[in-house]
Amino acid sequence: MGTRGQCSDGLGSRGVGARDVAAREAASDLLRALASPMRIAIVLALQEDARCVHELVGELELSQPLVSQHLRVLKDAGVVRGERNGREIMYSLVDHHLAHIVTDALTHATEPRPTTQPTSPDAPAANTAAANTAATNTGAPST
């Protein structure tokens, strides 16, 4: 399993590997565009259905200029598209992979994290983990 050359690239049939600079740049740009709590909220709102700016303003309780600014960033990054419907522009996600990226990130962010305690150089890590587990199970403070 850990032998070099036996691991798959983990990216399926797309053939995009770690050495594909253009793909890494594009992914970095996408993640940078999503790197705002307000833009994440917009993506989550658009996951359900297309919305115009005033609907997003009401739902997210943000100012219209702020929502428009975030939509512009998302549109420039290829995350959302706008389609004119009379006097309004209806915004929607370009594809639902984008919603999966956001929901997976939220799931990951809310998962419980194991706590780590600093150890002294001469204390084996296993003993510290065992002490933390024992302290957790008994309600006693860990060392």
On whether the CB atoms of residues 43 and 34 are closer than 8 A, the answer is yes
Beta bridge partners of 72: none
Beta bridge partners of 88: 85
- In Å, the largest CA–CA distance within the chain is 72
* Residue of 83, 10, 77 whose CA lies nearest to 43: 77
Tell me the pTM: 0.67
Interatomic CA distance for residues 37 and 52, integer angstroms = 19
* Residue of 101, 104, 96, 107 whose CA lies nearest to 48: 96
On whether the CB atoms of residues 14 and 23 are closer than 8 A, the answer is no
Question: Tens digit of pLDDT per residue, the chain (143 long)?
Answer: 444 444 444 554 456 666 789 999 988 999 999 999 999 999 999 998 999 999 999 999 999 999 999 999 999 999 999 999 999 999 999 998 889 999 999 999 999 988 876 666 665 555 445 444 444 444 545 44
Residue 30's contacts (CB-CB under 8 Å, 6 or more residues apart) are: 77, 78, 79, 98, 101
- Residue type for position 97: H
Question: Which tokens sit at 31?
Answer: 């993640």
